[in-house]
Structure 1
Amino acid sequence: MLPTDSFMCFPGQMWEKVLSKVKKAVVFMDDHCSESLHWNGGAACLFQAGARNVKRFSSFEAGGENEPKAVFVVSTLLKGRTADIIKDIISLSHFQYCVVFTAVPHSVHLLAGTVSPEVEGSPVFERFEETLREWMGDMNYTAEVLHAQLLFAQLSPQLLLLPSFADLFPLLEPDLGSVNGSRPEKRRFGSLMDVDMHSLPPELQIKIKSLASALNALFEFSRTREESFAVGPMSRLIAGELASHPQAKNRRKTAVNKASVVFIDRTLDLTGAVGHHGDNLVDKILSVLPPLPGHVTDVQVDMVELTRLRCTSEVQGVLTPGCLAQNQSATARLLWETMLVAKQKEAVMEVRRQLVEAASKENLPFKMNLGRVTAEQLSSYVQLFRGSWGALESHCGVLQLGLATVQTLRHADLTRWDACLAFERLLLQQFSTEHRSVVMDASFPV
């Protein structure tokens, strides 16, 4: 098996552990794990595996009287607010069997707790199992606590993201003062490159160790030995943590594949975050459409155009929004991958081609227009499917991606995007002239 094949299979294999436990259970899941599942089959996988219901991980949720089994899927440590929510849900329910999956490994739980690492087994998980039985009200009830790396969102076979680490930001110069504040004057760090893991706040240490553990699990699954390169102080810490991971030494001895891993501090690529580089359709969709609640990698697609309802304020909030993650249709997945890597013009033309093909398969009347693709043209193809529920179901994925394209092309911010991109390119051209300093000075007021 090639490494890329292993990377593609890894998220699904991790979710198989959860699917094997959800039969006849009500599932409670937090936002980060929900986002991972969203890109790895969605809630449909849970129902196909026998789950009775799927609910948000919240103190305001509970199981029904005839729901004796619960599965909790969380991305956090089993302490603090997470433990409180689990207790609240159990106290409002009638569970006799509880399974808890956490994406944080036991080794990190040891770091965050008071149990000695030398103790055999998984004492933190075993102790939490006893706590679950106490909360259920009978020590003879069944409780299981398991670990699975459920944080990878598979946007395509070549692209895996870790949405739960979206807020992990590199250290900045002002942070150096905070780090040195608790250290003796003679042992203070002179620069961020001198900062070590043990001097960081405990919460940040746990975040970095959790990330390193997730990456190690991915490499272990794919039997890969990595060669790491780090650019920036935070990247150096993460690469070092991955290199010193307890399971990394044995993994590298038995690995049959090799990979180069480059860690880059986000502060070294700020222009990519605030600029308007490239000509990619998905980049623009993610920039202008509102995010799905609780997600950082997907957006809401307004589905009103697929109904016979008028687009009025009365309709807002009634329809469930569409999205970019299309797991059920092979055609939609291929279209999404094209949109992800192609230039905007090529991607928009492919959207039109797929909409025309879908309309043709359903014998819907359409007028083929060659030449430049417009938002109005794509919208007219989408609206052919209104009221035809069988056709809507068969081509729902392509229609959602088509609507995302239409709403992006119509968006007022797109004109400003193009204007900013043109201005940035003009600035780059001027950097090569004799008047570079004048250009730099002129850019500050902008």
Structure 2
Amino acid sequence: MSSSSVKEFGKAWWSEVYNRIIGAVVFLDDASAECLHWDGGLFNLLSGGAVAVKSLSPFESCQKDNKKAVFITQASSTQVKTIREIIRHSDLTHCILVSTVSLDVVYLEINDGKDVGDAVSSGRGPTEATKQLESMLIEWIGKRQCAVEVVHIPIFTISLTNVVFVTPPYSHIYPLFEGKLIPQSPSVDLYSLSNSERSQARRLASALNSMLDSMNLKEDIYYVGAYSSLLAGILENSPVCLARRKNCLHPASLIIVDRTLDVCGVTSHSTESVLDKIAAALPKFPGHSVEVAVDISPLCKATAVNHPEDIQLSPGCLYHANDDGCVQTYEYMINKSHKEVMFDLYNKLSKIDIQKSPSPKSLLKVTPQSVEKIVTASKGNYDIISKHLGVLQQALAVVQTMKSPRRAQQELLMSLEKQVLQNLAASRDSTSVLHQICHLIKTRKDRNLPLDSLLALITHVYSLVGTEVSFSKQHEDNLTETLSVAIFEDHRSLLRNETGTVVSPEECEEISKRVMGQLKDITQMRKTLTKYTSVLKPCETGVGHEYRGVLQQMVDDLVDTERPDLVDLKHKNEGIKDLLRSGLNILTSKKTRSTKHPLDNSTIIIFVVGGITAEECKRLHRSVITSGIDNTVLIGSTKLVTPVEAMRDVVSL
């Protein structure tokens, strides 16, 4: 199957799923359900012939008269056990297991601890996995007359725009080595990881391989960072990947980047992107990594007491795949200014307005109040609501973001970030910064600043300075002590404490010391780089300094027509081949072949492991467009992140 874009790649494979669901009860895991939402949602399955759709849970089963089941899962060992429980509590004759993960990886996992090296190295892994899983399904059904099928369908991407995509099943993957940010040894290999980390790396690499296969791309692999080198190694050497490269026709460049090299961009509250502002202000949609939960009680008669936990009213959402106008507005939320998004929403709402508000042309400024007025005029008018549900939910999301108390907190954090940046840039002196942050932590309740947002600010500062500025031991000890007290005071809301037990001051002191250790690790992440060691750059206007991220600097160099040396971008296909080539050159006395450049290939995929923001995507895309290059540049990541989520990835609370 060949598809020219990531959006087409997703659509094409979902159609393969829809071909198999007629008359079936469909069971999905959370990640597959999230991907389905971005392809059109639940009604795609029901209108396609599914008789019921259920969550993949050991407490679910099929009714007696349902004889066919389709499981759409990541096929992890836990999920395979769940499938066994569902089948055993049902009365099936036909069972289809759709593994969204490549079957060679599943084969390694279900045979963990067994010697299956020969089957994997000879490329028989997928075939052997199919046989093994099919025989398991037949055994669980327990009938002679039954039909089973195991098939790999790579469903793992969602396209936010035509050039930006994320991978919900891999949203939890972060560049860590045995839980640490910095690996123990400089030469990292797959077997220096824990079992679960190794499995995650293989799964992500196999997903990228499936995407390249579907898009008929034969890639040159480039990477920046230790974790990315692992993924590049798997893609370079796995038998399935080697076989695919022999058959694919179109050359491409795949650039894999570790998020940990630059955590500033994702912990910053300074964003113009409306989508980032919404994501930071509204709660996540239950079970989703990207979508937000919109309180739609202003549209209907029900009153949500505790949104989104109040189950009497389902939350709304931002993305509506079957409404072209909503898809366009969603892209605007990434790429356009706040003012343009507000005018776009007002324009679309004014066409359904039953109160006849002023036309968009006669308004100088669209305010949250003017948008909210049109939305609430539709309250209880279910005929209008049903026809325009998408745009009404998007409008409510923007209004709720602008009115949210978190918005004022974000504005304050933005101004604090700017102060810190200018202080550090002007003097390269750290004396006042940590003292200032300690004061903020102590007075956080007066300023209505949550501790997790202040921790995001501290993470931002440590990543910003890198090795350029060193903080004094006295100031760091003071910060450790201040944090320890604050963690004790706020531990119920800050720590993921499922049991509800009270944490002692001594435990909070240990947590605080561990957090400081991880922050110090963050300052060392760019030490391995040659050119992109600093992200504090003088402004082009000549006044003050600005943050210019590693990704931004790399992409600016990448698309530069002068083709400056990309010294920090390692090329996986080089190494022994280059040594051989240079040896041959001595014999033939010919001029050395020039180094490969990612722009040599018409398609370039930049993939960030560990998250990206909508603001970064917008800026990177803008750099590509203004450069004038003809190449197609796609930007991907494991997830979209907010500053607090990014902080929690770095600082394990």
Q: TM-score, normalised by structure 2?
A: 0.61
Q: Structure 1 residues 115 and 100, CA, compared in 2 at 3 Å: closer, same or farther?
A: farther
Q: Which moved more, 1:159-168 or 1:425-434?
A: 425-434
**Post-superposition shift, 1:427?**
2.3
Structure-to-structure mapping, 1:420-439, within 5 angstroms? 420-434=413-427, 436-439=429-432
- CA distance, structure 1, for counterparts of residue 280 and residue 138 of structure 2: 46
CA distance in 2, matches of 1:156, 1:314: 29
- Provide the aligned length of Structure 1 versus Structure 2: 428
Q: Is the contact between residue 306 and residue 386 of structure 1 (CA under 8 Å) also seen in structure 2?
A: yes
Which residue of 1 is the match for residue 316 of structure 2? 322
Question: Aligned-pair distance for 1:290?
Answer: 0.9
Change (3 A) 1:314 1:74: closer
Identify if the C-alpha distance between structure 1 residues 374 and 261 changes in structure 2 by more than 3 Å, giving closer, same or farther.
same
Of 310-319 and 322-331, more deviation after overlay is shown by 310-319
In the TM superposition, what whole-angstrom CA distance separates every residue of 1:98-144 from its partner, at most 9, and x where no partner exists? 10111221211232213635455622221221221222120321111
- Check whether the contact 1:40–1:154 (CA below 8 A) recurs between aligned residues: no
| Aligned mates of 2:207, 2:59 — CA distance in 1 | 30
Instruction: Give 2:67's aligned residue.
Output: 68
Structure 2 residue identity aligned to 1:240? G
Larger displacement relative to structure 2 (165-174 or 89-98): 165-174
Q: Report sequence identity in percent.
A: 29
Local SS of the residue matching 1:260: strand
Contact 2:212-2:218 at 8 Å conserved across structures? yes
Which residue of structure 2 aligns with residue 159 of structure 1? 164
Distance 1:293 1:174, change over 3 A: closer
Question: How much does 1:42 deviate?
Answer: 1.0
**Per the alignment, in what secondary structure is the counterpart of residue 241 of structure 1?**
helix
Aligned-partner SS, 1:358: coil
- Distance in 2 of aligned mates of 1:229 and 1:124: 31
Structure 1 counterpart of 2:357, from 345, 363, 366: 366
Residues in 1 aligned to 2:396 and 2:250: alpha-carbon distance in whole angstroms? 41
SS, match of residue 372 in structure 2? helix
Q: What residue number does 1:107 align with? A: 104
Please give the alpha-carbon distance, in whole angstroms, between the structure 2 residues aligned to 1:196 and 1:407: 47
Q: Which residue of 2 aligns with 1:24?
A: 23
User: In structure 1, what is the Cα distance between the partners aligned to 2:307 and 2:173?
Assistant: 39
Unaligned runs of 5+ in 2: 441-653
Which residue does the alignment assign to 1:334? 328
The secondary structure found in structure 1 opposite 2:204 is helix
> How far is the alpha carbon of 1:441 from its aligned partner?
4.5
Confirm whether residue 207 of structure 1 aligns to residue 204 of structure 2: no
Uncovered stretches (5+) of structure 1, i.e. residues with no partner: 180-188
1:116 maps to 116
Alpha-carbon offset, residue 2 of structure 1: 11
| 2:297 corresponds to | 304
In structure 2, relative to structure 1, the CA distance for the partners of 1:269 and 1:345 (3 Å cut) is farther
Quick one: distance in 1 between partners of 2:428 and 2:229?
37
Residue 98 of structure 1 corresponds to 95
Residue 61 of structure 1 and its aligned partner are, at CA, apart by: 0.9
> Displacement of 1:346 after TM fit?
2.1
Range with greater deviation from structure 2 (309-318 or 102-111): 309-318
Q: Are 1:223 and 2:216 an aligned pair?
A: yes
Q: Is this contact kept in 1: 2:2–2:214, CA < 8 A?
A: no
Pairwise CA distance, 1:376: 2.1
Tell me, yes or no, if the aligned pair for 2:60 and 2:86 is still in contact at 8 Å. Answer: yes
Q: Quick one: distance in 2 between partners of 1:224 and 1:76?
A: 26
SS, match of residue 92 in structure 2: coil
Over 3 Å counting, the alpha-carbon distance change for 1:174 and 1:388 in structure 2 is closer
Is contact 1:73–1:102 with CA below 8 Å preserved after alignment?
A: yes
Residues 2 and 147 (structure 1 numbering): CA distance in 2 closer, same or farther, change over 3 Å? closer
Write the letter of the residue equivalent to 1:198: Y
**Which amino acid letter does the alignment assign opposite residue 161 of structure 2?**
S
For 1:102 and 1:444, how far apart are their aligned partners in 2?
Answer: 48
Relative to structure 1, is the Cα distance of residues 173 and 84 closer, same or farther in structure 2, using a 3 angstrom cutoff? closer
Higher mean C-alpha displacement, 111-120 vs 340-349:
111-120
Counterpart Cα distance in 2 of 1:173 and 1:432: 35
Change (3 A) 1:409 1:261: same
Distance, in Å, in 2 between the alignment partners of 1:214 and 1:267 is 21
Alpha-carbon contact 1:115-1:124 (below 8 Å) kept: no
The separation in 2 between residues aligned to 1:257 and 1:430, in whole angstroms, is 49
Give the residue type in structure 1 aligned to 2:168: P
Once the two structures are TM-superposed, the CA of residue 230 in structure 1 deviates from its matched residue by 1.9
User: For 1:45-444, what aligned pairs fall within 5 Å after superposition?
Assistant: 45-77=44-76, 79=77, 81-112=78-109, 113=111, 114=114, 116=116, 118-119=118-119, 120=124, 122-171=127-176, 175=180, 191=185, 193-253=186-246, 255-310=248-303, 316-359=310-353, 364-368=355-359, 370-434=363-427, 436-442=429-435
Give per-residue Cα distances to partners, 1:378-397, cap 9 Å, x unaligned.
11111222233232122111
Amino acid at match of 2:116: S
Does the aligned pair in 1 maintain the 2:2–2:216 contact within 8 Å?
no
SS of match in other structure, 1:156: coil
Deviates more, 1:245-254 or 1:143-152: 245-254
SS at match of 2:346: helix
After superposition, the Cα gap between the structure-2 partners of 1:435 and 1:9, relative to the gap in structure 1 and judged at 3 Å, is closer
More off after superposition, 121-130 vs 30-39: 121-130
Quote how far apart the aligned CAs of 1:398 are. 0.7
- In structure 2, how many angstroms separate the alpha carbons of the residues matched to 1:173 and 1:436? 34
Deviations 1:415-436 (A, max 9, x none): 1101111221222223332363
Structure 1 CA distance for aligned equivalents of residues 145 and 194 of structure 2: 40
Tell me, in whole angstroms, the C-alpha distance in 2 between the residues paired with 1:407 and 1:299: 12
Deviation at 1:41, TM superposition (A): 1.6
SS at match of 2:342: helix
Which residue pairs with 1:186 in the alignment? none
SS state at 2:425 partner: coil
SS at match of 1:71: strand
Alignment partners' CA distance in 2, 1:324 and 1:115:
48
